[in-house]
Structure 1
Amino acid sequence: MTAPIPLEEAWTRLLAMITPLESEMVAVDDAVGRVLAEPLVARRTQPWADLSAMDGFACAGEGPWRITGESRAGQAFDGVVTSGEAVRISTGAAVPEGADRILVVEEALVEGHELAATEAPEPGRHIRRRGFDFASGDILMEAGQRVSPAGLALARASGNGTLTALRAPRVTLIECGDELVADPLECPDDRLPASNGAMLGAMASQAGAIVQRIGPVADRKSALREAFETARGNDLIVTMGGASVGDHDLVKPVLEELGAELTFWRVAIRPGKPLLVARWEGTLILGLPGNPVSSFVTGKLFMLPTIGVLSGEARPLPVPIPIPLRGSLPEGGPRREFRRARLVDGEACPIEQRDSSALRALAQADLLIDRPAHAGEAKAGTPVPCYWIANGANA
């Protein structure tokens, strides 16, 4: 049996196996979560003209001024403002030709058509200059960026109705184990409600994948072989459970019988060592451990980057954030460890429970602390690399 390989080597070997999917045209309103295959280019200039950033008066020169009209959003003042004149103006309305400053309502003194200021506005005050956000032809997002809700707004505001994005990966999740029951309401005490498939499915969906779930699949070669046949042709197959060395861990032998090419097996991390990576007829296969925390951690470290590369992400690997420790951590063991932690007042507070089956501790966690093998003691206040896992805390 070969020794577990380091995480960085596993990442390098995994990512080298993956080719981004083909691109397609997507309606802009359907593009959130998709990765751009081509840059997003502005088709218009924003703002289209000099606009007022405040409600008030567009003034020419030093006051006092005489009010000669109004400029509203969507209905600009039709004329020129000369020195000593002003027009009423609303937020987002075009600044008339000749006006060089905005006097806000709160600082205006109005008597009939006469206008004065409690405090004289400086030239250029409260004016959003034409094109300060973007100009027609500007590249607003590069290829490889994932479209966020803010990116959707940017695409629409820049005049785009469609985007060129990579196809969403088709991912099949196969949950293995005789002990698992699909319906949590009909689960006897001596068995377990299946949870990994739902958890990994939610993670994959949030990453932009189209998810198919199979299982629970019984610990029989024929049942597992049938599940693989059902998943045939998808972009990624992820199994949960059955990837270790027990008598009932059948993923590896079944893949070998199907003619799959095993790329590597076992990674030197805790939790999640019995990770398997293979290719079967052009489909990438990730065999994740069955313990839920191990499944989550390897899903975070391997499944999500795989989906990212398939989707076209330019930077698919997770990026650690240095966060100071709340409390201390003892010396580390022989394997690199990912410790669950809470975010408390801007500090990473390690959760004492480390068992890889403990779901409550996982659901309470906001972070994974990345502890290198044989790490020395880390004292309170020491910055430690953390991966954000977004379980609900507000950073």
Structure 2
Amino acid sequence: MTLEIEEALALIAHHIPAVTTHLLPIEQAVGAVLAQDVVASIDLPRFDNSAMDGYAVQLAQAGTVQSVSPTIFAGDTYKTHDFAQGIVKIMTGAAIPQGCEAIVPIEEVTHLEEQVKLPASIKAGAHIRRKSEDIAAGKVLLERGMRLGGYQLALLASQGITHVRTYRKPKVAVFATGEELKMHFEPLQAHNIYNSNTPALLGRAIELGCDVVFVGSAKDDKSDIAHHIHTALEADLVVTSGGVSVGDADFTKGVFGEFGIDYLFEHINIKPGKPTSFGRIGKTWVLNLPGNPLAALINFELFGRAAIAKLSGRKGHFIGTVHTVAHTDFRIKKGRVTVVPGVWDGKGFAASTHYGPGMLAPLIDANAFVILGESVERVVKGTPLFIISMDSAVDVQTMALLVNDF
């Protein structure tokens, strides 16, 4: 049975659980995904404090000349002051004394030797940062499923949190099949080509936050493919390329069948990449991709990226789209749901002019792709499109409409 793209992605979203969890020091948690909510235990700010270098005053002192008490610095313990005796000089971040109703910045007063004259108008609460106005104790600070970056680490540190429970990185094993394939460090014979799929898939998995294992290149031989599968099954996700069509030497899916794979889907209504399949052997998920480079990598961006997002525990694990317009006219052959690579410059999408399933070079410049419905054969400049960016994260919590059909 051939599934639509959205149907296949919905199955991935429904069936794949997150990987196991572990504790990490926050300094090592950049890029990790939280496995539990983090609740604030400390108010931020912890106390009312000055937002400016200036003077702690009361409103009734507006327009008057006042004596100035010694300066309160950030970190000083200073709780009381008799405002009948004058005002207090205060630095940014210092706790305001009891009875203070506003802070007047230094540049807004008139200096008169050892005294200062305050402005005629002072606004209540001016330049005072109130306790807990940023973060209140008891508030959920960070939610489970959030990917941690530098700014999130700042919030954790503000609460005195040293370790967080996160999902471990998914482990992804990659291998390709093909008698003709050689790795880039091996010499080529006349009938050989270099295996470009495996380094690309390994690289993308690393970019998506995974630990990776290079299993190798399998020959078009059932026993060799079986050896590679056996080696790969310790991973959370196995990604293969090649051997999934119906050629005389396409053994990959058959050998996976001997391992008892339970497929969620075996064919997708997509061009290129119809033979793409996805299933499970025990606790290991398996994505079988076509051997043609562009077909393999485009389908990995759709289905591999979605699987990794679910394994990672991301709260938002669906692929998002960007609404834009076509920069140029372009044509495709109608009759199949078709993926077209191209460049999105923030203003519009320019489709690649020369590409095919077996090509690699179009993906070097491409940073996005558009999916066009079966009835589409021409897109004119200015046509509204929703495209998928390969640079942006998978972080949408509901499935977006992916296929442009007009």
Q: TM-score range by the shorter chain?
A: 0.7 to 0.9
Name the residue aligned to 1:168.
169
Name the residue aligned to 2:58.
60
Relative distance call for 1:92 and 1:357 in structure 2 (3 A) is: farther
Name the residue aligned to 2:5.
7
TM-fit CA distance, 1:45: 1.1
The residue type paired with residue 287 of structure 1 is N
Cα pair 1:33 1:208 within 8 Å, conserved:
yes
Distance (whole Å) between structure 1 residues aligned to residue 379 and residue 179 of structure 2: 41
Cα pair 2:63 2:119 within 8 Å, conserved:
no
1:195 partnered with 2:226: no
Distance (whole Å) between structure 2 residues aligned to residue 277 and residue 57 of structure 1: 67
193-202 vs 103-112, greater mean Cα deviation = 103-112
TM-fit CA distance, 1:285: 0.7
Distance (whole Å) between structure 2 residues aligned to residue 270 and residue 103 of structure 1: 67
Relative distance call for 1:139 and 1:218 in structure 2 (3 A) is: same
SS at match of 2:199: helix
Relative distance call for 1:188 and 1:93 in structure 2 (3 A) is: farther
TM-fit CA distance, 1:92: 2.9
Residue by residue over 1:218-261, the C-alpha shift from the partner in whole angstroms, topping out at 9 and shown as x without a partner, is: 22222211111111232211112222222232211111222323
Cα pair 1:305 1:318 within 8 Å, conserved:
yes
Name the residue aligned to 1:242.
243
| Identity score, percent | 28
Name the residue aligned to 2:396.
none
TM-fit CA distance, 1:84: 8.3
Across the aligned residues of Structure 1 and Structure 2, the Cα RMSD in angstroms comes to 2.8
The residue type paired with residue 203 of structure 1 is R
Cα pair 1:81 1:96 within 8 Å, conserved:
no
Relative distance call for 1:179 and 1:66 in structure 2 (3 A) is: farther
TM-fit CA distance, 1:143: 1.9
Cα pair 1:169 1:235 within 8 Å, conserved:
yes
Residue by residue over 1:98-128, the C-alpha shift from the partner in whole angstroms, topping out at 9 and shown as x without a partner, is: 3333333444443443234679553323322
Cα pair 2:181 2:195 within 8 Å, conserved:
yes
1:229 partnered with 2:198: no
Name the residue aligned to 1:128.
129
93-102 vs 114-123, greater mean Cα deviation = 114-123
Distance (whole Å) between structure 2 residues aligned to residue 300 and residue 336 of structure 1: 16
Distance (whole Å) between structure 1 residues aligned to residue 333 and residue 71 of structure 2: 70
Relative distance call for 1:52 and 1:7 in structure 2 (3 A) is: same
Name the residue aligned to 1:159.
160
Distance (whole Å) between structure 1 residues aligned to residue 273 and residue 248 of structure 2: 19
Of the three residues 34, 38, 54, the one matched with 1:36 is 34
Name the residue aligned to 2:91.
90
The residue type paired with residue 144 of structure 2 is A
Residue by residue over 1:323-381, the C-alpha shift from the partner in whole angstroms, topping out at 9 and shown as x without a partner, is: 23323344662222232222335222222223234433212222222322223644433
Name the residue aligned to 1:100.
101
Name the residue aligned to 1:328.
329
The residue type paired with residue 369 of structure 2 is L
The residue type paired with residue 376 of structure 2 is A
Cα pair 1:6 1:268 within 8 Å, conserved:
yes
Relative distance call for 1:358 and 1:130 in structure 2 (3 A) is: farther
The residue type paired with residue 374 of structure 2 is A
TM-fit CA distance, 1:41: 0.8
Distance (whole Å) between structure 1 residues aligned to residue 80 and residue 216 of structure 2: 71
Name the residue aligned to 1:300.
301
Number of equivalent positions: 389
1:364 partnered with 2:373: no
SS at match of 1:270: coil
85-94 vs 233-242, greater mean Cα deviation = 85-94
SS at match of 1:97: coil
Relative distance call for 1:98 and 1:166 in structure 2 (3 A) is: same
Relative distance call for 1:324 and 1:218 in structure 2 (3 A) is: same
TM-score normalised by the chain length of structure 1? 0.87
119-128 vs 65-74, greater mean Cα deviation = 119-128
Which blocks of at least 5 consecutive residues in structure 1 are unaligned?
none
TM-fit CA distance, 1:36: 2.1
Which blocks of at least 5 consecutive residues in structure 2 are unaligned?
393-406
Relative distance call for 1:228 and 1:126 in structure 2 (3 A) is: same
Cα pair 1:81 1:97 within 8 Å, conserved:
no
Cα pair 1:34 1:166 within 8 Å, conserved:
yes
